Structure 1
Amino acid sequence: MPSSIGFRPTPDDERILRESALPGETTSDTLRRALRLLDHERWLVQFRADAEPLKGEDVNTEPEAW
Structure 2
Amino acid sequence: MATRTIGFRPSPEDERILAAAAAAGESTTDTIRRALRLLDHERWLEQMRRDADRLRDENLADEPDAW
Structures share a fold, TM > 0.5? yes
Aligned twin of 2:11: 10
Q: For residues 47 and 35 of structure 1, what CA distance do their matches in structure 2 show? A: 18
Aligned twin of 2:50: 49
* More off after superposition, 5-14 vs 33-42: 5-14
Which segments of 5 or more consecutive residues in structure 2 lack a partner in the other structure?
none
Q: For residues 16 and 25 of structure 1, what CA distance do their matches in structure 2 show? A: 11
Count of residue correspondences: 64
CA RMSD of aligned residues (A): 1.9
Aligned twin of 1:63: 64
Residues 1:36 and 2:49 aligned together? no
- What SS does the aligned partner of 1:37 have? helix
* Greater relative CO (CA pairs within 8 A, separation 6+): 1
Query: Following superposition, which runs of at least 4 residues in structure 1 exceed 6 angstroms of deviation?
Result: none
Query: With structure 1 as the length reference, what TM-score do the two structures score?
Result: 0.78
